Structure 1
Amino acid sequence: MFATLHRKSLSMSLGVLLAGASACTWAASTTAAVDAGAAPANQTAQVTLILKLHNQAALEDYIRQTVTPGSAHYQQFLSTSQFAQQYGATNADIARVQSYLRAQGLSGEVLPSHLAVRISGTVGQFNQLFQTSVHNYVSHENGRGFHKPAIHPQVPSAISDVVDVISGLSNENLYRAHHVSAPAFAALGAANAKTNALSAKGSSGASSNPTASGIPGEYTVGDVANFYDINPLYKRGVVGKGSTVAIVTLSNFYPSDATTYWSDIGLATKPNRITQVHVDGGGAIDGGSGETSIDVEQSGGIAPYANIMVYDAPNTQSGYVDAFAQAVSDNVADSISTSWGGPEIFDFAALNVNGASDTDTTDAGDLRAFHAIFLEAAVQGQSLFAAAGDSGAYDTVRELGTGTGAGDFTAPLTVDAPASDPYITAAGGTTTPYSYAFGNGPVASITQESVWGWDYIQNYFDTYVQPINLFSSGGGGGGVSVYWHTPFYQLFTNGIRRSEPNQSLVYNDPSAGPTTLLKLPSHFAGRNVPDISLNADPETGYLYVSTVDGGLNSGEGGTSFVAPQLNGISALLRQSTGHRIGLWNPQVYALQNIFGYGSFSAFRSIRAGDNWFYHGAPHYNPGAGIGALDVANLDVFLRSGF
């Protein structure tokens, strides 16, 4: 099968990401990987060529029409072959690329979408073809060996009018799974007592979901149904029948984890509904396998009779792109979610290209590759969801850390990708109401659903227990893209922000002193994320089952729970409306802009809390987006054609 994965998860240092890039003189002293020299010429490698779209402006206009009531092409989604004919590379373009590859002793597999060509070859062939030098490296962190280019690869001039992006040539682990465990307060000598502070909507009486636990940190998909008014759909028999959800992930998993979870909470589900597609050989059973279990359990739990496709691929640069490309080109899934990602800025030329200036924010990574795939998904009516990250407004802190000592990095305001792409719905995080106490401190409460950020815990400890620093520990991802411009659906939304001034990624080089690696644009009119938020705080988090993580786990959260929950909700809406929902963003922003908030709104504003920078507000905010969902009300709007 063609394909592979989700965004840059760098638990190492940025030096690992850029190890060997000759322009980055700082990398030699910061890298967590050793350059083992040029890779042998006969070593095998894989590359995916993303081909340029035709008539992209017309494609974007057609997508808008598919989700705009009254438009000529409203809900007239295209098939994969129709997309290929109208917007993909032409047969002549593909023949020319294949002919050129054959002349280099290579051949490529073309996706039915005419959007990508997958090539396997040797390092020697790719070094010559792309004017680069692939080196081998050994990670200091885990001793893992990997290869990647030491010089930025170039598209051959003979096919540069057809090929847009070279994805691959690296098998380094790049992406992070966006789930977080509750802080280890026991290590601080604190006893954490948690209770429900307030009843969530629909959490009592006949409307309560029988699979809900009602216990913060042990919530189930039943609690999600209570929180966000999903139960009325279940009562109408809307359980995802006839829908298919897909998970794009970078680790393999044990499907029995999901069936155990559903069985243990007493949820009736469609049997034998999980299909695995191993892209580029598939992902490994490893530390990310729990993430895949979460995604399947949550999406398939919200929509218990939907079919589930799991596209798993190796955690590499081309892996993520390939897995998404496969899921979209297959066009079986009505909705797709992913819970992997990494800082948008890690794709910028300033951090990747030899000789690039520290202000160069052009894409030298995979932002354009994902964008082309997401455009295809949108015109085919496939709804996409991505976790917005768990580092609050400072998306690099979980990757790089932050501080003032030698070897430390600064933490600029940043967003996560691929969630920052305007053609995917970015899933943010909230904290639902609960009461808590630590150590000998008094009971405190979150009294309304709030933007998730653990400064409320830090403040409690600083006041009543002992000073701690949770800044880099957790918060719902959100902020302003400095690559993607404000999309049309956010132009008239109250609360949309521009990028903040004076944001830079600086490395405190132990030998050379502070070195500015990237200066981010100030006041950039960028895409704001997230779009929609649901409960993600591990303190008000969830149960999940993962064999790799020891079986039953509690106190887990992160926006990686929210993305698959939205995926499952989309499957319910697909059954209820009788058609694919398509790109959510233009529809939900129009609903919020026109109807606002209130008893019959599809949304609840998130007015409290913060993600370490952006605060809740009675309108859109980059902490929680347009707010949390009322799914029953959203369903009414969508069925009416609003």
Structure 2
Amino acid sequence: MLAKLHRKSLPLSLGLLLAGITTGAVAANATPAVDAGVAPASQNVQVTLVLKLRNQAALEDYIKQTVTPGSAHYQQFLTTSQFAEQYGASSADISRVQAYLQKQGLSSQVLPSHLAIRTSGTTAQLDALFSTSIHNYVSRETGRQFHKPAGTAQIPSAIADVVDVASGLSNERAYRSHHVSASAFTALNSQSPKLSASSSSSTGSNGNPTASGVPGEYTVGDVANFYNINPLYKRGVVGKGSTVAIVTLSNFYPSDATTYWSDIGLTTKPNRITQVHVDGGGAIDGGSGETSIDVEQSGGVAPFANIIVYDAPNAGNGYVDAFAQAVSDNIADSISTSWGLPEIFNFAALNVTGASNTDTSDAGDLRAFHSIFLEAAVQGQSLFAAAGDSGAYDTVRDLGVGTAPGDYSAPLTVDSPASDPFITAAGGTTTPYSYAFGTGPTEQITQESVWGWDYIQNYFNTYIGPNVVNLFSTGGGGGVSVYWHTPFYQAFTNGVRSSQPNQSLVFYDPSAGPTTQLILPSRFQGRNVPDISLNADPETGYIFVSTYDGGLNSGEGGTSFVAPQLNGITALLRQSSGHRIGLWNPQVYAIQNIFGYGRFSAFNSIRAGDNWFYYGEPRYNQGAGIGSLNVANLDLFLRSGF
């Protein structure tokens, strides 16, 4: 089935792990940067002005009605022009902002949604516009250069009643793709690891001809087997008439996707991939494999859906612009992204010079994304975001963890944009399999479980030796937002929690000692993530094709596989129902809360495993959310109007 593909060797070896190397990488902004001084006056900066919504309360109420059976506006989704007319900035307000920008010598481009205006200018122009001073900085960790305001940027008073957020004044944060490679445990003492698929009915190649049945080499056919998608395929539901979109921050080779589909034996619609390069597009770089994954998975689950790939630079306003474009175009019925950063990286305490370490106001793009997601929801576009791959401690993959000079603490945190209430957060599980390493005994994951690599950590601590490897905190992202309040659809969900007390981000400064950079809110009644989870553990992971990464890659996982799989599933549901599905969250929580788990449930309860803090439970939990899917049953609920 895969004979034509070149198999790339796995990226890590046990030898590296035995040397004590952790799986958590350190981001470019892990340590405070060096201020390189005022940016040259002629340096160009792109900025997107996200405009304030009109009648936001009415908009949110209308969104609820579109996904609530029996409501006056059930499934009555709006067009982009209708959104602009009812909830976007008025034409008069937009003209006023454009005139103000023109006086500053700045051009403007208005999105059809009336939600954003793109502009660009020199640092001198933008310094004057936002009453700030943009400086260049150099990361002490990597030498990467970036710019950001040295002080708080102020929206000009003349347009402050219209403009909500100025995105792009800083390009400090580079988003991370939520993709993880297998730990690649080569056997100790030259013995091969014993690895076999469980005989559980949730694994193997039960029925789908494109499935491999081999953990670490799973395909979209295995996803269909795990989550009862095959009954839809047998009815001819393959995504016809549906369009999925991928929002990503790297360009890719479209031939990767067609090679993957062809070589697993999957028949797909030809010539179905369209690329939209936003702000000049993303680069072919280390994130290109992520884009390949997203297209292969979404388009593999829904083999006859059209695919639009919106790629943008991984800096400044690129991510906001890519999402805004995908939503304003309003061609895609569903959209997924597999990129994110810790929610707390948006807070003023970490971005504004002189801000209090308790300041959790948004100095990033949280509000910008939120407005865009509200537009998507009222247009009936289903959104999905990977919840992260650092378990309950979302900063660890970006900052590392420790108490030595140069290290950071590890507070309980969640990922953005997955934490937004109007996007579906895609979490991760481990499906049943057997494993053994070296001379250790064979052990089993006997039921689908919350994904967290502490089960491997514990195995090594017991049978190989303590502190030989450090896998903390690799696993499915989940926890409680400390910015977004508990949304209405989680208000009556058993298992929803508030934030934990005594959580702080501390930097162990080599020169000044421990510095508390942020004290997180305690007992905050916040949005809980994830919402839905599917298999994401690289040990029970997948193959994908990426030219940039050497061809065929196996033993791959992360919640970046789950978000596009849910995207593809939505394309199937859209064809089956004959209409857009809209925002998943109110619908799936209602189905779970009313009907619970059982033989005819749309969800599989995830009762085992953990993500290093939150444990599987026979109810909603912050490791796996509602649980994993029974897609055929979910389809029946949605078509019946439950």
- TM-score normalised by L of structure 2: 0.94
**Is residue 2:311 matched to residue 1:301?**
no
The one-letter code sitting in structure 2 at the alignment partner of 1:381 is G
After superposing the two structures, state which structure 1 stretch, 486-495 or 127-136, moved more: 127-136
Measured in 2, the distance between the counterparts of 1:79 and 1:171 equals: 32
Aligned to 1:194: 195
Query: Do the aligned residues in 1 keep the contact of 2:135 with 2:148 (CA within 8 Å)?
Result: yes
SS across alignment from 2:271: coil
Deviations 1:142-189 (A, max 9, x none): 544332222231111111111000100234451000000111433976
Unaligned runs of 5+ in 2: 1-23
Q: Structure 1 residues 252, 173: closer, same or farther in 2, change over 3 A?
A: farther
Aligned to 1:625: 625
Deviations 1:195-232 (A, max 9, x none): 1113334856xx61000000000000000000000000
Measured in 1, the distance between the counterparts of 2:469 and 2:580 equals: 45
Tell me the CA shift for residue 138 of structure 1.
3.6
1:481-560 aligned within 5 A: 481-560=481-560
Aligned to 1:157: 157
Tell me the CA shift for residue 470 of structure 1.
3.2
Query: Do the aligned residues in 2 keep the contact of 1:339 with 1:387 (CA within 8 Å)?
Result: yes
Query: Do the aligned residues in 2 keep the contact of 1:291 with 1:339 (CA within 8 Å)?
Result: yes
Query: Do the aligned residues in 1 keep the contact of 2:25 with 2:400 (CA within 8 Å)?
Result: no
Deviations 1:555-604 (A, max 9, x none): 00000000000000000000000000000000000000000000000001
Identity across aligned pairs (percent)?
Answer: 80
Aligned to 2:448: 449
The one-letter code sitting in structure 2 at the alignment partner of 1:305 is F
Tell me the CA shift for residue 135 of structure 1.
2.0
SS across alignment from 2:421: coil
Q: Structure 1 residues 94, 421: closer, same or farther in 2, change over 3 A?
A: same
Measured in 2, the distance between the counterparts of 1:536 and 1:202 equals: 14
Measured in 1, the distance between the counterparts of 2:637 and 2:534 equals: 20
Tell me the CA shift for residue 287 of structure 1.
0.3
Measured in 2, the distance between the counterparts of 1:134 and 1:293 equals: 35
**Is residue 2:435 matched to residue 1:436?**
yes
Aligned to 2:262: 263
Aligned to 1:231: 230
Tell me the CA shift for residue 68 of structure 1.
0.2
The one-letter code sitting in structure 1 at the alignment partner of 2:103 is A
**Is residue 2:254 matched to residue 1:251?**
no
Query: Do the aligned residues in 2 keep the contact of 1:201 with 1:229 (CA within 8 Å)?
Result: no
Aligned to 1:3: none
Tell me the CA shift for residue 505 of structure 1.
0.5
Tell me the CA shift for residue 194 of structure 1.
1.5
Measured in 1, the distance between the counterparts of 2:401 and 2:188 equals: 21
Tell me the CA shift for residue 43 of structure 1.
1.2
Tell me the CA shift for residue 473 of structure 1.
4.9
C-alpha root-mean-square deviation of aligned residues, in Å?
1.5
The one-letter code sitting in structure 1 at the alignment partner of 2:241 is G
Aligned to 2:103: 103
1:78-157 aligned within 5 A: 78-157=78-157
Runs of 4+ that moved beyond 6 A: 187-190
Aligned to 2:180: 180
SS across alignment from 2:158: helix
Aligned to 1:27: none
**Is residue 2:576 matched to residue 1:576?**
yes
Tell me the CA shift for residue 509 of structure 1.
1.3
Measured in 2, the distance between the counterparts of 1:437 and 1:593 equals: 39
Deviations 1:293-350 (A, max 9, x none): 0000000000000000000000013000000000000000000000000100010111
Aligned to 1:292: 291
Measured in 2, the distance between the counterparts of 1:119 and 1:87 equals: 22
The one-letter code sitting in structure 1 at the alignment partner of 2:329 is D
Aligned to 1:25: none
Tell me the CA shift for residue 403 of structure 1.
0.8
Tell me the CA shift for residue 11 of structure 1.
5.6
Measured in 1, the distance between the counterparts of 2:469 and 2:499 equals: 26
Tell me the CA shift for residue 13 of structure 1.
4.8
Deviations 1:423-454 (A, max 9, x none): 00000000000000011101100000000001
Measured in 2, the distance between the counterparts of 1:454 and 1:191 equals: 20
Number of equivalent positions: 617
Q: Structure 1 residues 259, 541: closer, same or farther in 2, change over 3 A?
A: same
The one-letter code sitting in structure 1 at the alignment partner of 2:424 is T
Measured in 1, the distance between the counterparts of 2:149 and 2:520 equals: 25
The one-letter code sitting in structure 1 at the alignment partner of 2:519 is K
The one-letter code sitting in structure 2 at the alignment partner of 1:347 is N
SS across alignment from 2:85: helix
Aligned to 1:22: none
SS across alignment from 1:159: coil
Tell me the CA shift for residue 408 of structure 1.
1.1
Measured in 2, the distance between the counterparts of 1:295 and 1:230 equals: 18
Aligned to 1:169: 169
Aligned to 2:425: 426
After superposing the two structures, state which structure 1 stretch, 114-123 or 509-518, moved more: 509-518
Measured in 2, the distance between the counterparts of 1:395 and 1:202 equals: 29
Measured in 2, the distance between the counterparts of 1:457 and 1:160 equals: 52
Measured in 1, the distance between the counterparts of 2:79 and 2:525 equals: 34
Deviations 1:449-471 (A, max 9, x none): 00000111011111111223434
1:212-227 aligned within 5 A: 212-227=211-226
Query: Do the aligned residues in 1 keep the contact of 2:197 with 2:203 (CA within 8 Å)?
Result: no
Aligned to 2:344: 345
Tell me the CA shift for residue 414 of structure 1.
0.3
Deviations 1:242-290 (A, max 9, x none): 0000000000000000000001100000000000000000000000000
SS across alignment from 1:522: coil
Aligned to 1:600: 600
SS across alignment from 1:117: strand
Tell me the CA shift for residue 404 of structure 1.
1.5
Query: Do the aligned residues in 2 keep the contact of 1:242 with 1:575 (CA within 8 Å)?
Result: yes
The one-letter code sitting in structure 1 at the alignment partner of 2:239 is G
Deviations 1:60-112 (A, max 9, x none): 00000000000000000000000000000001110110111111111210000
The one-letter code sitting in structure 2 at the alignment partner of 1:363 is D
SS across alignment from 1:317: coil
After superposing the two structures, state which structure 1 stretch, 114-123 or 132-141, moved more: 132-141
Measured in 1, the distance between the counterparts of 2:272 and 2:220 equals: 18
Measured in 2, the distance between the counterparts of 1:267 and 1:170 equals: 43
The one-letter code sitting in structure 1 at the alignment partner of 2:625 is G
SS across alignment from 1:157: coil
Measured in 1, the distance between the counterparts of 2:365 and 2:137 equals: 21
Query: Do the aligned residues in 1 keep the contact of 2:280 with 2:312 (CA within 8 Å)?
Result: yes
Measured in 2, the distance between the counterparts of 1:485 and 1:473 equals: 25
SS across alignment from 2:429: strand
The one-letter code sitting in structure 2 at the alignment partner of 1:259 is T
The one-letter code sitting in structure 1 at the alignment partner of 2:193 is N
